[in-house]
Structure 1
Amino acid sequence: MDLVEFPSLSRGTLRDMRIAIDGAFREFTRAYGETLEQIFEPVEDFLVFLEGLLIDSPWPIVIAVLVGLVYLLSRDVKISVGSFIALFLIGVFGMWEDTMRTIAMVSVCTMLAIILGIPIGILMARSDRAQGFVNPVLDLMQTMPSFVYLIPVVMIFGLGKIPGLIAVVIYAIPPMIRLTNLGIRLVDPDVLEAADAFGSNARQKLVNVQLPLALPTIMAGINQTIMMSLAMVVVASMIGVRGLGQPVLNAINNQYFTMGVMNGLAIVAIAIIFDRATQAYGKRLQKHSEVVHG
């Protein structure tokens, strides 16, 4: 019995299509690459400033500030003490500078994800049509292999901080958008009706009612964005992003077991610090919301 071949385009047609698309993208990068680089220059300048601030400042001050921030978020002495021990050991084992670069990159990427993600999430919450359009895009962003993000940004910006930062934000922003949308949609309709009864307009309801009640869910989105940023920073080391990812990449290439494990544990320590602090803050917001509106 003869097998029926699946209908497909000829190799020549596929090759011509690839050549045409690749050529068009190269023309786009030549025409607009410099303009796009100029747009992102302020972000790069801020990232360089933050890196320099963390690296050049005396380490006791940096640890004190970071542990203080952890305590303000978590209000938990155990988490704060654990953060101090982790950061101190990172410095003792010679990974301080790379860790500060990673913290700076994750911080800037998270800020960008918040600035871009919350407005998109609000738009989705207010419009079913917008949600229907954005959801498939988010599905694509979350299922696309992380290495694929590096191809277009490297072609446009080359190697360095900016392409890595853009790739990290694209990879990490979906949870921020989804959970902002979810948090606003989960606000009790009775509360919104009460706001309407007091004469609140749409903007007042959003700022004074919906966003405060959605904050615990939005905080969960920030937590997930930070975790995904940390994961992507390691991948972004392939395009010149300095930090804990580069020693891990060097360890893989040169089979340096100890270097890979130590820097991997440093990444885990930073991830745990961020995770515990933001989760504790989210739980505090949840309890406060339940007390105020319970």
Structure 2
Amino acid sequence: MSWLNDFPALGSKLLSEIRRAIDGGFRDFTREHGETLEQFFEPLREFLLLSERLLTQTPWPLVIAGIALLTWLAARSLRIVVGTVLTLLLIGVFGMWDDTMKTIAMIFVCTVVALALGLPIGIAMSRFDRLQRWVSPALDVMQTMPSFVYLIPVVMLLGIGRVPGLIAVVIYAIAPVIRFTNLGIRLVDKDLLEAADAFGSSAWQKLRQVQLPLALPTIMAGVNQTIMLSLSMVVIASMIGVQGLGQPVLKAITNQYFAMGLFNGLAIVGIAIVFDRASQAYGKRLQKHLEAQHG
């Protein structure tokens, strides 16, 4: 029975060997392919920089007017538009305009990338049950993994900067888009699909003209959750160089500046409420429109 006494030591030794093998392999991969990866993600960095310059260098009245217009087109609610304008004015009055614009640029780019990657995966999951069985556990891990863990591999691969933070945010926030796209397409009424088949629609025509339009309200719920998760990751991503409202919050934590942390935290909350209300209102409008069409 002596092996029972040695079991903890053997387990610790095995774990140490596994960790060394993984870390060593990761470092070798980084040294060999790190520069190639940086070049691969260069267009993403340029897209983010362009978005930041557009929001920070455009005169603030035009930015507020543009955001208010987009909010109105999405929500068609004067109350939400007024709340959006007041939130942005307060952010400007308290000197957080540039950081807020950088944060909005980051959220915009992260959402675009998450949609570009998540929608095809969600569509594929809805069509192939085997793929769903493989991808769902991976999404479970992604959603339960501590957010700090996502910073480790991207920093090892790409170092400190905007792009590593952006990639970490996308990985953390992409799961809802995939799940809700898959769910929305699977919930489409089978009778409508049979009717499309009766008219001789191809698989692509059914997807484009029937499934995606009917699933759009559910997909918008996934987009809403992706935006909220991206905002929640902003402060953590600031640890590896992501600019925006997260950096003052991190500075406030480090130096115990309560007022700075409070005001910047409230700015993040304000932006989150604006995005949440606008996207939810848009989803409800889509739902009513579809019900009117098919009801």
With normalisation by structure 2, the TM-score equals 0.97
Secondary structure, counterpart of 1:241 in structure 2: coil
1:75-154 paired onto structure 2 within 5 Å: 75-154=76-155
Which structure 2 residue ranges, 5 or more long, are not aligned?
Answer: none
Deviation of residue 6 (structure 1)? 9.3
Whole-angstrom CA distance in 1 between matches of 2:6 and 2:60 = 63
Deviation of residue 170 (structure 1)? 0.2
1:1-294 paired onto structure 2 within 5 Å: 7-8=7-8, 9-294=10-295
Whole-angstrom CA distance in 1 between matches of 2:199 and 2:191 = 13
Q: Deviations over 1:237-270 (max 9, x none)?
A: 0101010000001001111010000000000000
Q: Deviations over 1:56-101 (max 9, x none)?
A: 1100000000111001100000000010000001001000000000
Secondary structure, counterpart of 1:159 in structure 2: coil
Deviation of residue 234 (structure 1)? 1.2
Deviation of residue 19 (structure 1)? 1.7
| Alignment-mate amino acid for residue 266 of structure 1 | A
Q: How many residues align?
A: 292
Shifted more, 46-55 versus 15-24: the winner is 15-24
Deviation of residue 12 (structure 1)? 3.4
Secondary structure, counterpart of 2:201 in structure 1: coil
Deviation of residue 176 (structure 1)? 0.3
Whole-angstrom CA distance in 2 between matches of 1:5 and 1:193 = 65
With normalisation by structure 1, the TM-score equals 0.97
Secondary structure, counterpart of 2:18 in structure 1: helix
| Alignment-mate amino acid for residue 75 of structure 2 | S
Whole-angstrom CA distance in 1 between matches of 2:142 and 2:78 = 38
Secondary structure, counterpart of 1:129 in structure 2: helix
Whole-angstrom CA distance in 1 between matches of 2:105 and 2:123 = 27
Q: Deviations over 1:148-207 (max 9, x none)?
A: 000000000000001000000000000000000000000000000000010001010000
Which structure 1 residue ranges, 5 or more long, are not aligned?
Answer: none
Whole-angstrom CA distance in 2 between matches of 1:14 and 1:216 = 46
Secondary structure, counterpart of 1:275 in structure 2: helix
